[in-house]
Structure 1
Amino acid sequence: MAERQLLSSALYGILAILILVLSASLIVSFLLRFTSMEEGSFAWFLILFSFVAMFIGGFISGGKAKRKGWIAGAATAVIYTLVIFLVQFLGYNQMFDMQQTLMHAGYTGSAVLGGILGVNMVGGNNS
């Protein structure tokens, strides 16, 4: 039963991440289309936002799991990385390069930290 709760909480975290990332993508695409801004001006913003989105996803996942937040955050990050890898590999026939591998390792760290704080902020099981 605990594994089911962990998977369920990780899926809530993934849903939150996808909503945040798709919202940011929509906003940036509108800004690129209707202003004179270029893609290069958003690079650092998008990287920072990705880490924040992973943190929030891990936080939600840890809060829903109510215990073992680091595992809930890690599961969220691993599922997210797996989805991104499958889209890239099956859709574009490309593997992760070293930069993407390091970014996803950082995403995992961010989601784990979010999961730990999510459990502690929501008030996990103290018994």
Structure 2
Amino acid sequence: MGGAVLYGTTTIFVIAIAASLLFSLLLRFTELTESSITLFVTIVSFLSLFVGGFMSGGKGKTKGWVLGGSTGLIYTLVIFLFQYLGYDSLFSMEQLIYHGCYILTAMMGGILGVNMSGGPREG
């Protein structure tokens, strides 16, 4: 179970790093502004959490909501620690809502991941 959650969390961060690189290059070499790509950043964030939960559920093959929720919770914890320890700042109310939705999205991905992988075999 721990390996599946770690696998899903790693997937989330790999997607986040790749998306960050892409968005930073777009901002640097085009006329785009941060405010013009906010929606795309939000969409990619939710997709990365869904994919991470999906990978976690697919790897664990059982209890997808727990695996996905744990994956989303670990992601939120890492982001919170980075923000708190690095910037000496707590989550704002908006960030709390986003991260709550991230955890729910990862749970949905975990449930779907278990169902798509076939889940546990009976008998």
Whether TM-score is above 0.5 comes out as yes
Q: RMSD of the TM alignment (CA)?
A: 0.6
- 1:1-127 pair list within 5 angstroms: 6-127=1-122
Q: Once superposed, which parts of structure 1, at least 4 consecutive aligned residues long, lie more than 3 Å away?
A: none
Deviation of the 1:117 alpha carbon:
0.3
**Separation (CA, whole Å) in 1 of partners of 2:54 and 2:110:** 4
Deviation of the 1:126 alpha carbon:
3.6
The letter for the 1-side match of 2:90 is M
Deviation of the 1:7 alpha carbon:
1.2
Count of matched residue positions in the alignment of Structure 1 and Structure 2: 122
**Separation (CA, whole Å) in 2 of partners of 1:83 and 1:69:** 21
The letter for the 2-side match of 1:34 is F
**Separation (CA, whole Å) in 1 of partners of 2:67 and 2:27:** 35
**Separation (CA, whole Å) in 1 of partners of 2:9 and 2:63:** 17
The letter for the 1-side match of 2:42 is I
Stretches of structure 2 lacking an aligned partner (at least 5 in a row): none
State TM-score, norm by structure 1.
Answer: 0.94
Sequence identity percentage? 49
State TM-score, norm by structure 2.
Answer: 0.97
The letter for the 2-side match of 1:105 is G
**Separation (CA, whole Å) in 1 of partners of 2:47 and 2:61:** 21
- Name the structure 2 match of 1:3: none
